[in-house]
Structure 1
Amino acid sequence: MCPLRSAFGASRGAGNRFPIQGCSVTETKSATLDVVAIGNAIVDVLARADDAFLAEHALTKGGMQLVDTETAELLYDNMGPGMEISGGSAANTLAGLAALGKKCGFIGQVCKDQLGDVFAHDIHTLGIAFDTPARTEEPPTARCLILVTPDGQRTMNTFLGASQFLPAAAIDKALIQSASILYLEGYLWDPAEPRAAMRSAIAMAKDAGRKVAFTLSDTFVIDRHRDDFLALIEEGMIDILFSNEGEITFLTGKSDFDAAVAALAPKVPVLVSTRSEKGAIAVVDGVRSEVPAAPVAEVVDTTGAGDLFAAGFLAGHVEGLPVADCLKLGAAAAAEVISHYGARPEADLKQIRAKTLA
């Protein structure tokens, strides 16, 4: 059995014996959806590659870079045979939540083109509400060229295309306020137009007494928007913060993980951070729970591991499960997705949930 890169098992300490304290979902009006997410509407194109190919194209193994049209076309022309699967970080999380039986909605921008139709079809098939009007002009629908090396590491090259032009007018207030949790993808904070749209959505959610969850996504996003993220945290706009070890240390400027957690946890009701083979932690109202990395038979493709971990954790959270169970569900969902190519679950997550929490 190989260690799971981004999924985690059982908790320790007092946090595993009682429901989440101080972060249960309570609103002034009953919610009809569990989670509404705002994120990049992307179609992933996955292909196998070796380290030599990455070196030839000056790509950082395991990283994510934004590319322009010219670079996207060059990589696409040179990469091996691939498969197209609807993706996008927040949309992947919703796919996991929907597979776990949760009611979800998505807001994201596509173009009226072939890949835009693919994305819309795929997300509707999952039973996720998605009604953002498609753009009729350039640029085309976003796509992420994902090169998977034999060790399962994925190197992502993202052309944001239409997704970076999500306007504030596309934010459906009724949809935002119908959900228990608004989930925001850090990647989409980079372009100005969707950043403004997400700020508007945060205000709508807070006005309705809803929770706001945010995923930091990547250190390059933090590097460009650290002040914004810290301000949102200081102002109490973020109720649930997802990160990995590199992101939380980068955000806080602390070289030590525990020091970074200690600096940030008092400012966020629910802080969740994954640590690859070292497991994951969640700090809820000052109580820290830890889990080891869950096993997986073979790491095939780590694409979407963090996204599905968030799906499992949020699924448990909206049910009011103990912190330990939320972490276990995150681990189980992430373990499933890294066992095959693509960032969407293939196995029955409801069955996996039942076994995990038995």
Structure 2
Amino acid sequence: MDDDRPDVLLTGLLFYDLVLTGLGRPPTPGEEIWTGGMGCGPGGIANLAVAASRFGLRTSLATVFGDDYYGEHCRDVLCDQEGVDLSLSRTADGWPTPVTVSVAFPQALDSARAGGTPIHDRALITHGQEPPYSQDVLMGDPPDARTALVHLEARPREWLAKAAANGTQIYADVGWDPTQEWPTALLEQLSLCHAFLPNETEAMAYTRTDSAVAALGTLSELVPVAVVTRGGDGAIAVDQITGEYAEVPALDTDVLDATGAGDVFGASFVAASLGGWPLAERLRFAVLAAGLSVRHHGGALAAPGWYGIARWWRSLSDPGLRRAYGFLADRVPADPGPPVHHAPVTPPAPHIPVGPRACEGPH
């Protein structure tokens, strides 16, 4: 409690997300389909920022906002509503905030892994341009922070090594490689990391293995804490520092929109790790938070925070789940805070800013 550093340091590209749900199938060319669900709000790196902040973590975000309506709305949500520190962020004149339209729909996959039941997927359409400020420019000499949540890319970022040298614990994930080359050189960056949290497809591709368990074994030799997420099959992890291994199932839940679930998982795992929890509890907590997030539209504003976790725990009647998640009785705060804001169908009308707010950086 006497550590005034940011709990979580973040940088990356921010998007304005418009999410459409309730589609029984994807549209075909020339066809119009009406849908029953829609939500909007900040996305991209905002998913991690909001998920972390809703667990009471001091969250510092370095990103770029466009000087347009979308950028103003995202800045309002992050700064005024969610309490994210934006002092490292910038507003770029004449640069449009990237916009993503996400179309979520169930796909029935008759496979052994899916068990013949519908699983959910989404299609994304994005408009955007390369931001005028790079991550390294935004970060400069990064501030001391307890942790940083990063997305590893083929070209290493200079700020990452600086942050690690400062004593910041790096929690990293990685994204889909559109070239499908999966260069193993990317794993060299794990020497800077405390934890690595890829999904099973990414983990197997980068390690050249044929199962999530084998991939986890390879990754555990490269990074102190290795986690492999498995979607509907839950997650597995190894902590070489404590000698723990854990495997937990996914939460059985109705999926509205899976956007940002992986980001919620990562932020939740960091929150539990900062609390010093055992590995199995960290993993169950992250799986739970991700499972609760897919019940709502969008990524950032679907994050449950302590309010959502507390509400789920206090209404839980399933004896098996109460045993598995019994640790929450000692973890959930007595006051989990006010209800969280979920993605609205339409955002509020824009306002004219009077001047920089306390959590903002230069415009």
The equivalent position to 1:238 in structure 2, one of 176, 181, 193, is 193
User: 1:254–1:79: structure 2 CA closer, same or farther, 3 Å change rule?
Assistant: farther
- Contact between 1:212 and 1:238, CA under 8 Å: does it hold in 2? yes
The equivalent position to 1:313 in structure 2, one of 248, 262, 269, is 269
- Contact between 1:111 and 1:162, CA under 8 Å: does it hold in 2? no
For residues 37-58 of structure 1, the C-alpha deviation after alignment (integer angstroms, 9 at most, x for no partner) is 11211111112445341x549x
For residues 68-107 of structure 1, the C-alpha deviation after alignment (integer angstroms, 9 at most, x for no partner) is xxxxxxxxx999785421111x321221111111110111
Counterpart in the other structure of 2:112: none
- Contact between 2:104 and 2:121, CA under 8 Å: does it hold in 1? yes
The equivalent position to 2:159 in structure 1, one of 190, 201, 205, is 201
- Contact between 2:11 and 2:63, CA under 8 Å: does it hold in 1? yes
Would you say 1:254 and 2:228 are equivalent positions? no
Counterpart in the other structure of 1:349: 305
Per-residue deviation at 1:220? 2.8
- Contact between 2:11 and 2:135, CA under 8 Å: does it hold in 1? no
Would you say 1:274 and 2:248 are equivalent positions? no
Counterpart in the other structure of 2:290: 334
Looking at structure 1, the residues matched to 224 and 29 of structure 2 have their Cα atoms a distance apart, in angstroms, of 45
Would you say 1:181 and 2:137 are equivalent positions? no
Q: Counterpart of 2:18 in structure 1: which amino acid? A: V
Counterpart in the other structure of 2:25: 51
Per-residue deviation at 1:258? 1.8
Moved more, 43-52 or 298-307: 43-52
- Contact between 2:101 and 2:125, CA under 8 Å: does it hold in 1? yes
Looking at structure 1, the residues matched to 13 and 43 of structure 2 have their Cα atoms a distance apart, in angstroms, of 8
Q: Counterpart of 2:168 in structure 1: which amino acid? A: R
Greater Rg by CA = 2
Counterpart in the other structure of 1:60: none
Give the secondary-structure state (helix, strand or coil) at the position aligned to 1:302: coil
User: 1:206–1:348: structure 2 CA closer, same or farther, 3 Å change rule?
Assistant: closer
Unaligned runs of 5+ in 2: 108-119, 314-324, 330-363
Per-residue deviation at 1:330? 0.6
Per-residue deviation at 1:166? 2.5
- Contact between 2:264 and 2:293, CA under 8 Å: does it hold in 1? yes
Larger RCO: 1 or 2 (CA < 8 Å, sep 6+): 1
User: 1:87–1:225: structure 2 CA closer, same or farther, 3 Å change rule?
Assistant: same
Superposition map of 1:23-172 within 5 A:
30=3, 32-48=5-21, 49-53=23-27, 56=29, 82-88=38-44, 90-124=45-79, 125-131=81-87, 132-138=89-95, 140-150=96-106, 152-163=120-131, 165-166=133-134, 168-172=136-140
- Contact between 2:182 and 2:206, CA under 8 Å: does it hold in 1? no
- Contact between 1:37 and 1:94, CA under 8 Å: does it hold in 2? yes
Would you say 1:218 and 2:176 are equivalent positions? yes
- Contact between 1:214 and 1:240, CA under 8 Å: does it hold in 2? yes
Looking at structure 1, the residues matched to 302 and 124 of structure 2 have their Cα atoms a distance apart, in angstroms, of 21
Looking at structure 2, the residues matched to 224 and 118 of structure 1 have their Cα atoms a distance apart, in angstroms, of 37
Per-residue deviation at 1:148? 1.1
Unaligned runs of 5+ in 1: 1-28, 58-76
- Contact between 1:51 and 1:149, CA under 8 Å: does it hold in 2? yes
- Contact between 2:244 and 2:279, CA under 8 Å: does it hold in 1? no
Looking at structure 1, the residues matched to 41 and 12 of structure 2 have their Cα atoms a distance apart, in angstroms, of 16
Counterpart in the other structure of 2:343: none
Give the secondary-structure state (helix, strand or coil) at the position aligned to 1:102: coil
Looking at structure 2, the residues matched to 275 and 98 of structure 1 have their Cα atoms a distance apart, in angstroms, of 25
**Superposition TM-score, scaled by structure 1 size:** 0.74
Looking at structure 2, the residues matched to 251 and 30 of structure 1 have their Cα atoms a distance apart, in angstroms, of 36
Q: Counterpart of 2:13 in structure 1: which amino acid? A: N
- Contact between 2:46 and 2:300, CA under 8 Å: does it hold in 1? no
Looking at structure 2, the residues matched to 347 and 201 of structure 1 have their Cα atoms a distance apart, in angstroms, of 27
Moved more, 117-126 or 164-173: 164-173
Per-residue deviation at 1:345? 4.4
**Which protein has the bigger helix share?**
1
The count of residues paired between Structure 1 and Structure 2 equals 295
Looking at structure 2, the residues matched to 245 and 346 of structure 1 have their Cα atoms a distance apart, in angstroms, of 23
Amino-acid identity (%): 24
